[in-house]
C-alpha cells in the first residue's frame, strides 16, 4: 500500500496537471492557475492521514468558484470533457458509471487497492478477476494515476499486470459511486 505521503504527492501532481491543462485550454488565466495551484497544494497538505483527498476539479468548482449544486454539475462536466480532449491517454466518458456493481469481493481481496480507490476517490466500476479493471473519476488525470497505482498493486500481488481502463463520469454519478463504494 502506498504511504500517505506518496498519495499526497500523487494528488498534488494531479492537481498541477489539471490546472496547467485548464490554463493551456483557456479555462484558467495564468494568475488563476498559480493561485488555485497554491491553494490546492495547501489543501492536500492539510489532509489528515486516512482521510480521502479532494480532487482538483471538485476543489476548483466547489471551493474556489463556489458554484451552486446545478452549476457545479454542469461546470465540472464541461471541464472534464475539456480535459479529456487534452489528455494523451484514451479515456472514455461514462455518464452511467454509477450503475455498475460495487466490486466488494475484489476490494476485500485487495484491501490496499480498496484504500487507494477510497483515498483518491476513484472507484473501480468494472473488474474481471485479476485480468482487467476499470476505474472512474471526474478528473482524467486522477483516474489515470489511480489506475497506475492499482495496476502496480495487482502486479505485485499476482505477478501479472492487468489491463486497465480509465473513464470519467459526471459529478453526481461520481459522488454517488464514491458514497456507495466507500461510504463517504
Task: Put the strands of the sheet holding 92-93 in their side by side order.
Answer: 92-93, 163-168, 132-137, 124-128
- pLDDT above 90 covers a percentage of the chain that reads 85
Residue-wise pLDDT for 109-166, tens only, equals: 999 999 999 999 999 999 987 899 999 999 999 999 999 999 999 999 888 999 999 9
Global confidence as pTM: 0.92
Measured CA to CA, the distance from residue 43 to residue 69 in angstroms comes to 21
Query: What CATH code would you report for 92-182?
Result: 3.30.300
Phi, psi of 138 (to 5 degrees): -85, -15
Return the pLDDT at 24: 95
Residue-wise pLDDT for 39-97, tens only, equals: 999 999 999 999 999 999 999 999 999 999 999 999 999 999 999 988 888 899 988 87
Residue-wise pLDDT for 132-147, tens only, equals: 999 999 999 999 999 9
Tell me the CA distances in angstroms from 15 to 40, 54, 98, 156, one per residue in order.
Answer: 7, 10, 24, 27
Question: Domain locations in the chain?
Answer: 4-86, 92-182
Return the pLDDT at 184: 60
**CA 48 to the chain's CA centroid:** 18
Measured CA to CA, the distance from residue 94 to residue 74 in angstroms comes to 15
Return the pLDDT at 1: 56
Amino acid at each position: 500500500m502506498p504511504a500517505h505521503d506518496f498519495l499526497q504527492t500523487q494528488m498534488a501532481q494531479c492537481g498541477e496537471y489539471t490546472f496547467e491543462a485548464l490554463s493551456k485550454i483557456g479555462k484558467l488565466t495564468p494568475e488563476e492557475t498559480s493561485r488555485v495551484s497554491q491553494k490546492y497544494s495547501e489543501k492536500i497538505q492539510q489532509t489528515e492521514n486516512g482521510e480521502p483527498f479532494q480532487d482538483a476539479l471538485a476543489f476548483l468548482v466547489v471551493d474556489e468558484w463556489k458554484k451552486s449544486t446545478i452549476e457545479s454539475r454542469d461546470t465540472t462536466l464541461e471541464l472534464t470533457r475539456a480535459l479529456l480532449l487534452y489528455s494523451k491517454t484514451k479515456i472514455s466518458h461514462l455518464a452511467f458509471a454509477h450503475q455498475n456493481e460495487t466490486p466488494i469481493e475484489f476490494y476485500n481481496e485487495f484491501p490496499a487497492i480498496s484504500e487507494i480507490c477510497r483515498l483518491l476517490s476513484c472507484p473501480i466500476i468494472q473488474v474481471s478477476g485479476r485480468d482487467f479493471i476499470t476505474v472512474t473519476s471526474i478528473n482524467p488525470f486522477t483516474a489515470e494515476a489511480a489506475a497506475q497505482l492499482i495496476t502496480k498493486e495487482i502486479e505485485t500481488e499476482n505477478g501479472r499486470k492487468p489491463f486497465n481502463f480509465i473513464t470519467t463520469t459526471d459529478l453526481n454519478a461520481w459522488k454517488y459511486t464514491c458514497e456507495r463504494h466507500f461510504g463517504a
